[in-house]
Chain A
Amino acid sequence: MYTDKVMDHFTNPRNVGEIEDANGVGEVGNASCGDIMKIFLKVEDNIIQDVKFKTFGCGAAIATSSMVTEMAIGKTIDEALELSNQAVAEALDGLPAQKMHCSNLAADALHEAIKDYKEQNE
């Protein structure tokens, strides 16, 4: 059902955890549909220096969270805002159709975290 890349990120998720002095935090999803993603950012000079995540959810939710952290690190916040859920799914060589709308929220969580960073630093 899942691609090798999804299983790799699910079994060995990258950047799991919290950043103590994060300057941007975003959370999306809700318990009733079974997926909650929380992204922690450390931004310096407009560049994402560090990203960590915590996720409650299925295999796809955990794998997309892991992938989005890898894709975001080192990007400027404007570049990171262009990352889409679709791009995250493609980087994992695709997701099963029924997972595309319910568990593919990682880029949204990243964008929420960036929004939080921008609000804190206005």
Chain B
Amino acid sequence: MKQIYLDYNATSPVRPEVLEVMLPFYKEQFGNPSSVHWAGRAVSGALEKAREQVAALINASPAEIVFLSCGSEGDNMAIKGTLGALKDKGNHIITTAVEHPAVLETCEALEKEGYDVTFLPVDKNGTLDLADLEKAITDKTVLISVMWANNETGNIYPIEEIGKIARKYKIRFHTDAVQSVGKVPVDVQKANVDLLVISGHKIGAPKGVGAIYIRRGTRMTTFMHGGHQERNRRAGTQNVAGIVGLGKACEMAAAELDDYYKRVRALRDRLEDGVLSQVPDIKLNGTPDREQRLPNTLNVSFAYIEGESLLLNLDMFGIAASSGSACTSGSLEPSHVMGAMCVEVTLAHSSTRFSLGPESTAEEVDKVLEVLPATVQRLREMSPLYNCGKTAEDCETCETVRRI
């Protein structure tokens, strides 16, 4: 059976060109980049080349890039490092109810330590009202943290507009750009971002490597204590091979961005049009304005059925997708993103995300469209909610389902 991978927002395969440039750093080029001898010198140049490649993708300068182990580390570092450095200025963070757990749980932990956090609400399409953001700002606000694009819905947030607001009030601005880098243009200058986080494995580099952009002159307290690596920004011997891979993946993403957008967007639109026209009783999660969504992401809820059982059925056809159902999150509640968007609870349990990538094909999309309608119907026939006279209700109480 042919395997169809439509879960690129979860992770992506390492691209062959990326693996190729990494391999020497597991073999002859094994040195520690901090060493002064030949073995160290042989690899330190490779690190700096990767720094340039990452910087070029987001219009930063290489000295502003710090390599990390993953995107979650970057979000933790950005938030905690800022609050530590600016503790004399204030204790208030503004973020959104739909952030990735790396931001949300960090903020919740800080809330327990006594910091004030505003979780901005979103509307039913998952969009933010920037008037809410401006109203939330106080003289104690030291950080605004808003993701560039949402991992579940693909919604793209108005980062440039938020950057203007942050500049107007002289508040530091952090964005988790893990889902948007390589998919849409990301420019830290245009967006006036101070801190921006990238993850390698979402863009064809391996797991275990990420990067943070730290605007020149941005004071941060140390998150990882130890050696003097990364200009004292982050201790720990660098994951040289991973970093070289991340650099190559960023270089490729920059070169391919226009093509990627056109091709993947066309495939996603083909899938979206097909699903919306062929399966009745479904709800699109996220903004209906496709320009305001990542080109690769489609999130839909299929009324009357639960997400995990749909995923298992699709898996039997070799199709890999993901769900916001409680069963797939390991908790008892469905996705906090669906909760924040006021998606009715059974629809939240059935939310299903298809996320495409550069390796996706039209044949794969067509196979999904061939299998999906009958699979959904089969599960509906088993559901006590289907044809019982009740229709999927609208959510009456708009309540953000906060994890923990």
Contact = CB atoms under 8 A, between A and B. Distances in A.
Contacts of A121: none
Interface in A33-56: 33-38, 54-56
A102 B383 CA distance: 17
Given A38-B384, A103-B327, 7 more contacts: A32-B345, A34-B306, A34-B332, A55-B383, A56-B384, A56-B385, A62-B309
Contacts of B304: 56
A48 to B, nearest CB: 20
B56 interface: no
A61 B307 CA distance: 12
B85 interface: no
B333 A32 contact: yes
From A27, A35, A57, A102, residue with most partner B Cβ within 10 Å: A57
Contacts of B384: 27, 36-38, 54-56
Interface stretch (A9-17, A71-79, A81-89, A112-120): A9-17
A31 B312 contact: no
A59 B332 contact: no
B383 A34 contact: no
A58 B327 contact: yes
A61 B325 CA distance: 13
B381 A33 contact: no
Contact of B306 (A7, A32, A56, A98): A56
Q: Is the interface of A mostly helix, strand, loop or mixed?
A: mixed
A57 B381 contact: no
A11 B375 CA distance: 11
Contacts of B332: 33-34, 102
Given A13-B382, A31-B345, A31-B349, A59 B326 contact: no
Interface of B: 304-309, 312-313, 316, 325-327, 330, 332-334, 345-346, 349, 381-385
Contacts of B385: 31, 36, 56
Pick the most buried of B313, B330, B349: most chain A CB atoms within 10 A of its CB.
Answer: B349
Contacts of A33: 326, 332-333
A56 B326 contact: no
Contacts of B316: 11
A55 B382 contact: yes
Smallest CB-CB A-B distances: 8 pairs: A58-B308, A54-B384, A58-B327, A38-B384, A34-B349, A56-B383, A31-B346, A34-B326
Nearest to B330: A98
B311 to A, nearest CB: 9
Nearest to B308: A58
Nearest to A31: B346
B404 to A, nearest CB: 16
B136 to A, nearest CB: 29
11 contacts: A10-B309, A11-B316, A31-B346, A32-B333, A33-B332, A33-B333, A37-B384, A38-B384, A57-B306, A59-B308, A103-B327
B330 A54 contact: no
A5 to B, nearest CB: 14
A16 B384 CA distance: 11
Contact of B309 (A31, A58, A98): A58
Contact of A54 (B306, B308, B313, B383): B383
A105 to B, nearest CB: 13
B306, B333, B345, B349: residue with the most chain A Cβ atoms closer than 10 Å: B306
A36 B385 CA distance: 9
Contact of A10 (B312, B330, B333, B346): B312
A9 B82 CA distance: 52
Most buried by B among A16, A60, A62: A62
A58 B345 CA distance: 15
Contacts of A10: 309, 312
A35 to B, nearest CB: 8
Nearest to B393: A31
Contacts of B346: 31, 34, 56
A16 B381 contact: yes
A34 B327 contact: yes
B382 A59 contact: no
B383 A59 contact: no
A54 B382 contact: yes
A11 B325 CA distance: 19
